[in-house]
Structure 1
Amino acid sequence: MNIRPFDYDAYWRDESRDDWRRRGLHWHCHASRMDAGAYEDDQARRDPGSDLAPLVVRDWLRKPSRTIRHAPATPEDAVSWLRGQWERIKGQAGREATAISDETRFGTALYDLRCGNDLCWGFWLSSSVHMHLAVVGTSQRCH
């Protein structure tokens, strides 16, 4: 058996992925800034009526429409929204969050969205403030 080597540093540069298009997806973008108490309140985060980030990323689709910050129709538009959110907080994010280059961060995000995957990023901005960013795909006709 001959298995080709896998390039873990470059797989995401494949621009041919269009799984999202075949699945008829668009995305809902969500942002939730929570203090440590809210972040640890699993019951409140499970509540579909709450604006807090859910424990399961797909549960954003059960949250009120007021939690949708942007509804992009393409992966590129979703990544543009993510980039704008990241630019606002990256100066507050810890060294672990900024250890990944922006090229890799947004390149893999674009690849994942083109594959039809959801994204969820979480960053502690201080010892007591957590920022949650999510891009959740849906094929529902909701707009």
Structure 2
Amino acid sequence: MAFHCYLWHGDTATAQGPKRDTLCGDLSMATPPVLTRDWLRKPQSMLRRKASTPEEAVNWLGEVFDQHAEKMTHSQVTGIRRQDRFGSALTDLQAGNDLSWGFPLVGSKYLALAVIVVR
């Protein structure tokens, strides 16, 4: 198995607004997809890392989460204990399940992260 790590950072209106299905449903656009599996069909520029183990993918998630934590609300950062958040992610990836997270950020921005399991 391989673990493809994706990131999108943009306007909240794109990721959650009324035009989401149109903007995100177009697989040629560098926007988070409507369906999790469609990350694989989005532009390659959105692929940030190919991890060879679930642990490597979770380490990437932790790095990106930490880089953007100051732009998140306090409850987004602390509402789920870190060991629970990343422990659950590791368990899911070890089981072969895809992972998709989204976080509204200050300034009407949005962060979308995904790890897609490729067999």
| TM-score, length-scaled by structure 2 | 0.90
Structural RMSD (CA): 1.2
In structure 2, the residue matched to 1:35 is: 11
Paired with 1:37 and 1:122, the residues of 2 have a C-alpha distance of 13
Deviation at 1:96, TM superposition (A): 2.9
Q: Which structure 1 residue ranges, 4+ long, deviate > 3 Å from structure 2?
A: none
Identical positions, percent:
36
In structure 1, the residue matched to 2:60 is: 81
In structure 2, the residue matched to 1:116 is: 96
Report the number of matched residues.
Answer: 115
In structure 2, the residue matched to 1:106 is: 86
Q: Secondary structure at the match of 1:51?
A: coil
Task: Specify every segment of 5 or more residues in structure 1 that has no aligned partner in the other structure, as ranges.
Answer: 1-24
Q: Secondary structure at the match of 1:49?
A: coil
In structure 2, the residue matched to 1:92 is: 71
1:63-82 counterparts in 2 under 5 A?
A: 63-82=42-61
In structure 1, the residue matched to 2:105 is: 125
More helix by share: 2
More strand by share: 2
1:11-30 counterparts in 2 under 5 A?
A: 25-30=1-6
Paired with 1:47 and 1:65, the residues of 2 have a C-alpha distance of 14
Amino acid corresponding to residue 94 of structure 1 in structure 2? T
Paired with 1:91 and 1:123, the residues of 2 have a C-alpha distance of 12
Deviation at 1:127, TM superposition (A): 5.3
Does the aligned pair in 1 maintain the 2:12–2:104 contact within 8 Å? no
Deviation at 1:110, TM superposition (A): 0.6
Q: Deviations over 1:67-106 (max 9, x none)?
A: 1100001000000100100110112111331211111111
Q: Deviations over 1:5-46 (max 9, x none)?
A: xxxxxxxxxxxxxxxxxxxx2111111012133222321211
Correspondent of 2:26 among 47, 57, 61? 47
